[in-house]
Every structure is written in C-alpha cells, then in structure tokens.
Amino acid sequence: MAEGVHTDHRTLARGGALAFLAAAATLLLQVLVHRMVSAKLLNNYAFLVISLTMLGFAFSGVVLTRLLDRFLSRWGEAQTACASGFVLSTLVVSAAFYHLDAGNQFTGTMSGFVRESARWMPAALLFAVPFAFTGLMLGALLSDPRLPAPRIYGLDLLGSSVGAIAVIPAIRHLGVETSALLTGAGLLLGTVILAPPRRWTSRGLAIAAALALLIAGGTRDRLFQMRPRAGSTLSLRELVGPPYGLEYLQWDPVARIEVTRVLPPDPGSFAYPSLIGSEPLFLEHFRRMLTQNDYAFTYMVDYDGNAESLRGIEQTIYAAAYEATSVASPRVLVVGVGGGFDVLTGLRYRAGGITGVEINGATLDIVRRVYADYCRAWSHHPRVRLVEDDGRHYLATTDARYDVIQLSGVDSYSGTPAAAHVFSESYLYTAEAFDLYLSRLSDGGILNMMRLEYTPVREMLRALVTAVGALRRAGAAHPAAHVRMITAVPNNFAALLLKRTPFTPEEDERLAAWTGRSPHFALAAAPALNARRENLYQVFLDLDDAARERAFVALYPFDVSAARDDRPFFFRYSLWPHLFSRDPVHRFNMPVMEVSLLMLAAAIGLAALLCVYLP
C-alpha cells in the first residue's frame, strides 16, 4: 500500500474478496477448459490450448499499463464489466468451440499437422478472452494503491487453491458445462455485491450476462452439444441413425465417458480383429461401446451370466496370459476396467478372484449403477471386486501376488503419431512400474501388457526394452526366457507377456498352439524364434547382452529407451534432429512434440509482438 494512502476496512474486505473470487473462477475455468478441449480434440491437444489461453493474462497486463487509472477511478464499473465480460465470453467461446468442425486430426506429416491445427486453433485460442477479463480484475486489484498487495496476492493464491479443490467434485457431480455456468454466475453475483456498479452501462452488461446465463442454462443440451469428430464413435449417430449412437454421457475429472449403442463388429472390416475374434454368436453380444473422450474405446459385452455365452473370447488377444499360464483358477488383477472385457475374460477362464482397478470413477458408476442391469452379471459377480484407484498406486499399497496382471491398452490413444499428448506423463510404463509389476507376480504369474503398435515399431518395442531392463535388475540372466511377444494381424497391436520365472516348455507349447489357430495374431518372439531375427522384437531379445541392448537403443531411429519416474514421457519417441531429417522414416512419422513447441513459440511470439511490443 502506498505511503499516506488510508483505506477503510470495508474497501480492504471487498478488494480481498474480489481477488479471492476472481482467482477461484480463473482456476476453475482453466481446468474446465482443459476438459472441454480434451473431449473435443483428438488425443487431448489441451497442452497447446491451455498454454496459449494464458496469453489472456499477459494481454490484460498490457491493457492495464495504459488504462489502470481509468480502472481505478471507476472501480465498481470496471470490476462488474470485467465479470460480465468473463461470463459472456465464456459462453460464446465454449458454444463456438463445441460446434466447431475439428477437421481431420489423423495426419502424420508436418504440413498436414499444421494445416489441420489451423482449422481448430483460432477457435480454441478464443478461450484466452475470459482469462483476459479475470486478469484485468486481478491486475487492477494488485495495482490499487489503496489495497495492500501482499494481502491481495495471498487471497489470490487462496482463491486459486479453493478453485483447484472445488473443481474436482464440481466436474464429478455437475459436469463440465454446468460447472462453467455456475463459475460465471458465482463471479458475476459476487462482483455485483462487492463492487456494485453505479452506471447503467455496467449494470446493463451485468443484466445481459445474467440473462445469458439463464438462457444457457435452459438450453444447455443444445448449446453445449459437442460436434463429434468425423469417424469417431459418436459420429455413428449421424452415419447409422437411431437407435444407434450416443446413449449416455458422464463427466469425470479424468475424462468424459460416453456409452454408445453400436452394431456388432465385423472382423472382416474391423481395424483390430485381434480384439474381438470371429465367433458370430459371441459378436452378437457386442451391443454397447464405452469410450473416453470419444476416442479410446472398449466394448461392453451383453453378458447374461452364462459362461458359455462368452465362447469366442478365447479367440481374442486378451486371453494370451490365460492360455499360457500353468496356474489353475488364477488370481487376477485388471488395471483399467473399462467396459469389462478383461473381467469377462477372467470369468471365462474361471479365475479364482478378479480385482479390477479403475482410475475413472465415472466408468465404475456406469457399469455398477447406470448400466447395472446390462453389466450386473460381471460387475456384481461374487468373484469380482472393483476398486476406484490408480493401478500403480493400488499395487504399491498391497502385498498381494497375482497369477495374471492385465493391462489392456491403458492410455492406448495417448501416443499415436499425431498426438500432442506426447507431453502426457504416464507412470504405468516407467522402469519403476515394471519393477513393481514383477514384484507383484506370483512365481508362475504372467503380466499381459497390450498396446497399439506402429510402423516402424516403437511403442511395444519401448515396453519390451523396459521389461528386459526390469528383468536384469531382478537378477534374470537371460531375459528372453521370461518374455513372449504376440503381434496382431495386421501389425497394429501387440501383447507383451512377462514372467518372473522362465516360461516352461508346456507353457510355450500351449501358447504356440493357441496362436497357431488364430488368423488374427501370431507368436512374434520366443526363444525358439528369436534367432530368425524376422522382426525387431526378435532382434532385440536375441542380443542377450546388456551392452549390446544399450547400443541397439542408442542406434534406433526413435527414442525407445525406458521411461523413468523422473522422465515419465513414455509416448514421446521423437527427437529434435527429426525435424530436419531427410530420412523417410522421420518425414512420415512427424515429431509432434517438437512441432507443437515450435507452433507454441510462434503463437506466443506473434501475440507478444501484437499485444506488447506494438502497443
């Protein structure tokens, strides 16, 4: 507070309360926008959008350098106008973004990535506008000589903390759209009470914002009806028509979960036949699909409780560990329950007990309550226990040993070649995580880790590199004896089978016989096959020497070194030199993180030029 400036307690209290409200609203909206962007754009381009929307705060600082005196002389009017602008811009920008055609986001070339990003980025960048208004509110409060800056800043931090805590239950119980409406309503009402405007201009803005909130609340389903991406699961409603399409939607702090009624898949045209098999009677039960952010999918099979109705699930790659294991009635841990396919596989193979760990509370609510009649036969089965938790955290807090640990494509769509979510941290695939998995396997236990794979191979090759490192740390002299690889036909999916002890000849015989009967997958790596060096999994396992393995990783055209807890970016395979490489392998497998950072730097530089330097 400036020397000689006296401030009454009422002004101090109002200023502090406004700082608290504006900061809480800012943090709430920041998380809510992150959820909106993640649900709309392929593979969560939220990093780019959230980074750029914070330019709104920077722009507010530029405005205040020119107009601070005017803000302070019209304190109530300015604060009310900014709160009204926050509400109106949030509604307009959110509605526009929801109805935006996001274009084709499955591009693997640099030019295609930039071109398609240009279709949605301008609308996404408009999310900076609401943050500019709260930036003006907070900046004016911090610059007001009548108010003690340390106290205002402290209340700013407190408001941000409360917003960060409140947004979790808000999303879970109210959903993102309703939470956004209530955030705007709370800021508007609080501002009008704490800084009542005297001029009709500001009052009119406040009334307009209040009416907009009421209209948005009454037309929420239409206003915030998100336009699905072309080719996505939710676009089936437009392609196939009723009764197929979206049936139910529920927000969760982790992701948005959708349940869609679908036609039974045709293994002849389905992109991943290894996931569904080819038994016609079994496929008839594929009536629902559960998706996360309209992308990562899992089928919800209509199971009636009769184990024979699951005949055909043994034709899927999900069954790999059960076909190989020598353990009768295995104890099973499923990480990532989804629509229950892994649980059903365990029931089909008469598992003695199945613990399903699911981080997404909305998913568990759907299978246990919303779709209880549809899922009851497995979600309420006496041998099945469902737990809401992070898979790795659950394993770290239990001493139980399992005969089968199943991770089926958890975060599968985070690391596609076109994914800006290579920035995503995943602690399920680090070296330390593999150490934990090995320690929680029984002596005859098998880890079945399944993921998407690309050409050239990188994702499951990195998992294999990580697994071999964990085996060496556990004392395995010949890691190849503990590992089997199964690849889908076509080569777009793979399963890594990992044991603490070497696979037995009987287990290898069963696994070879089972894969030999399938047209959808094949045994790709095993000691009897590795010397052939017909694929890169075999090549790596045949090295059988730690120094040679390190050399292989160093020379590989992508980064397939083991991710670690202090560098948990499993889905980042590119390197900065790939930006300038003439190698076709790199040109057609775009270094998306590096390109994204360059785009971010260019956008920030342009904004700084237009909003800071030129003014």
pLDDT at 4: 44
pLDDT at 419: 45
Q: What is the pLDDT of residues 568-606, one digit of tens each?
A: 989 888 877 877 777 767 666 777 777 777 877 887 788
Residues 316, 219 share a domain: no
* Packing angle of the helix pair 46-53, 55-73 (nearest 10 deg): 20
Residues 208, 83 share a domain: yes
- State pTM to two decimals: 0.90
Look at residue 276 and tell me if it is in a domain. Answer: no
pLDDT at 420: 43
pLDDT at 342: 98
Look at residue 287 and tell me if it is in a domain. Answer: no
What is residue 296's three-state secondary structure?
strand
Last residue of a domain, one of 227, 257, 290: 227
Look at residue 297 and tell me if it is in a domain. Answer: no
CA 109 to chain centre: 23
If you ran DSSP here, which 8-state letter would residue 227 be given?
A: P
Alpha-carbon distance of 88 to 184, in angstroms, equals 9
Residue closest to 195 by CA, chosen among 290, 88, 311, 72: 72
Q: What is the pLDDT of residues 528-549, one digit of tens each?
A: 999 999 999 999 999 999 999 9
CA 552 to chain centre: 31
Q: What is the pLDDT of residues 403-420, one digit of tens each?
A: 999 999 887 554 444 444
Alpha-carbon distance of 465 to 273, in angstroms, equals 26
What is residue 404's three-state secondary structure?
strand
Residues 202, 350 share a domain: no
pLDDT at 130: 96
Look at residue 585 and tell me if it is in a domain. Answer: no
Written as six digits, the tokens of 265 are 């898949």
pLDDT at 429: 96
Alpha-carbon distance of 368 to 300, in angstroms, equals 13
CATH value at residue 53: 1.20.1250
pLDDT at 586: 66
Look at residue 269 and tell me if it is in a domain. Answer: no
Residues 323, 174 share a domain: no
Range of the domain at 204: 9-227
Residues 328, 204 share a domain: no
Last residue of a domain, one of 227, 257, 284: 227
Question: Would you mind telling me the total number of residues written for the chain in this entry?
Answer: 615
Name the stretches of the chain with pLDDT < 70. 1-7, 42-45, 103-110, 237-238, 412-424, 584, 586-588, 612, 615
pLDDT at 588: 65
By DSSP bridging, strand 353-358 and strand 384-388 are: parallel
The alpha-carbon radius of gyration of the chain (Å, integer) is: 27
> Residue 48, exposed/middle/buried by CB under 10 A (0-12, 13-18, 19+)?
buried
Alpha-carbon distance of 178 to 591, in angstroms, equals 37
CATH value at residue 380: 3.40.50.150
Look at residue 578 and tell me if it is in a domain. Answer: no
Look at residue 615 and tell me if it is in a domain. Answer: no
What distance, in Å, lies between the first and last C-alpha atoms of the chain?
28
Percentages helix, strand, coil for the chain, rounded to the nearest 5?
Answer: 55, 15, 30
Structural domain count of the chain: 2
Look at residue 516 and tell me if it is in a domain. Answer: yes
